[in-house]
C-alpha cells in the first residue's frame, strides 16, 4: 500500500545537525530534478519580489530565506520536518516499532522541492508550494509529473494507492493504467482544517493495522472499525475510487 500525503506549510527547524546530502535521499533518480528546482528556488528567493513569485506573505521573509541555504541548513527527518494539522493527527511519535516501520514503508510526502520523500529522508526546511510557476523551471506540478510517475508507480507495486493529497499536489502525479484501478482518493467534507485532520487520522489507522488490502473494497473493511466511510466507484476509467470519510 502506498499512502500519499501533502506536505505542510509549517515546518520545523533545527539549530544544528547534518547538512543536506542530496544523493542520500530515497529515490535517487530524482536527484537531478531536485537540484534543478533547488537552484531555481534559491535564485528566486534572493529577489525582492520573492514573496510575490512564491505566492506568500512578505511577513514570511525568514522562511523564504531558508530557500537560499538548503545546502547549509541543519536537516531533520521528514517525519519531524512536517508539522501542522494533518501531521498532528497522524502523530507519528506515538507509533510503536512495528507501526513506525509500516509508516515508513507506506507513507510518501509529495513535495514541491523534493518530489517525493520517505519519512526517514533527512531534508532541509524550505518554503515552496506545488502551485508555484517557478522561473527557470515552470509550473511545478507539470515539471514533477514525468519524474514522479516511475518512482511512485514502483513504490505502489501491486498494492493500493491511498491518496490523501490536496488538489494542488495531486496534480503532480496520477496513477495510470492498471494501477488506476487501485487508486483511492480520500475525500472529507467540510472545512479545510477538519479535512486535513481527518486525512491524518485515516493515514494513522492504515499504519496501525498490519493488513495490506489489495482491493478498494478491502480498504473499507479495514477502516470501518475506526471511521465512518463510504466508497464510490470511479466515474470513468482512469479516475480514482472515492472514499468519503465523515469527520468525527
CA atoms within 13 A on the CB side of 120: 10
- 65 near 127, Cβ under 8 Å? no
* 195-207 residue pLDDT tens: 999 999 999 999 9
- Domain ranges in the chain are 2-246
Q: What is the pLDDT of residue 248?
A: 73
Q: What is the pLDDT of residue 191?
A: 73
- Contacts of 213 by beta carbon, 8 Å cutoff, 6+ apart: 1, 159, 160, 219, 221, 222
Q: What is the pLDDT of residue 190?
A: 77
SS3 letters for 113-147? CCEEECCCCEECCCCCCCCCEECCCEEHHHHHHHH
What are the distances in angstroms from CA 138 to CA 41, 104, 133, 142?
11, 31, 5, 8
Among 74, 93, 80, smallest CA distance to 14 is for 74
Q: What is the pLDDT of residue 242?
A: 98
Q: What is the pLDDT of residue 123?
A: 98
Q: What is the pLDDT of residue 247?
A: 84
What is the residue-level pLDDT of the chain in tens, covering all 248 positions? 999 999 999 999 998 889 999 999 999 999 999 999 999 999 999 999 999 999 999 999 999 999 999 999 999 999 999 999 999 999 999 999 999 999 999 999 999 999 999 999 999 999 999 999 999 999 999 999 999 999 999 999 999 999 999 999 999 999 999 999 999 999 998 778 999 999 999 999 999 999 999 999 999 999 999 999 999 999 999 999 999 999 87
Q: Under the phi-then-psi rule, with left for phi > 0, alpha for psi from -120 to 50, and beta for the rest, what region is 104? A: alpha
Amino acid at each position: 500500500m502506498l499512502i500519499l500525503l501533502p506536505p505542510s506549510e509549517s515546518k520545523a527547524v533545527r539549530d544544528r545537525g547534518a547538512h543536506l546530502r542530496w544523493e542520500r535521499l530515497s529515490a535517487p533518480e530524482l536527484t537531478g530534478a531536485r537540484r534543478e528546482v533547488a537552484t531555481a528556488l534559491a535564485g528566486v528567493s534572493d529577489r525582492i519580489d520573492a514573496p510575490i513569485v512564491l505566492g506568500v506573505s512578505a511577513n514570511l521573509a525568514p522562511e523564504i530565506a531558508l530557500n537560499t541555504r538548503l545546502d547549509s541548513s541543519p536537516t531533520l527527518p521528514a517525519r519531524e520536518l512536517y508539522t501542522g494539522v494533518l501531521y498532528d493527527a497522524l502523530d507519528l511519535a506515538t507509533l510503536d516499532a512495528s507501526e513506525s516501520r509500516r509508516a515508513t514503508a507506506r507513507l510518501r510526502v509529495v513535495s514541491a522541492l523534493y518530489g517525493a520523500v520517505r519519512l526517514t529522508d533527512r531534508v532541509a526546511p524550505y518554503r515552496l508550494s506545488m502551485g508555484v510557476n517557478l522561473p527557470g523551471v515552470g509550473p511545478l506540478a507539470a515539471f514533477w509529473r514525468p519524474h514522479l510517475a516511475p518512482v511512485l508507480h514502483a513504490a505502489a507495486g501491486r498494492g493500493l494507492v491511498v491518496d490523501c493529497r490536496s488538489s494542488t499536489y495531486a496534480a503532480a502525479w496520477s496513477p495510470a493504467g492498471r494501477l488506476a484501478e487501485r487508486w483511492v482518493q480520500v475525500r472529507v467534507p467540510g472545512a479545510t482544517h477538519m479535512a486535513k485532520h481527518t486525512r491524518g487520522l485515516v493515514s494513522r489507522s492504515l499504519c496501525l493495522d498490519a493488513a495490506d488490502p489489495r482491493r478498494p473494497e478491502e480498504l473499507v473493511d479495514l477502516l470501518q472499525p475506526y471511521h465512518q466511510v463510504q466508497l464510490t466507484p470511479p466515474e470513468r476509467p482512469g479516475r480514482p475510487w472515492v472514499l468519503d470519510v465523515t469527520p468525527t
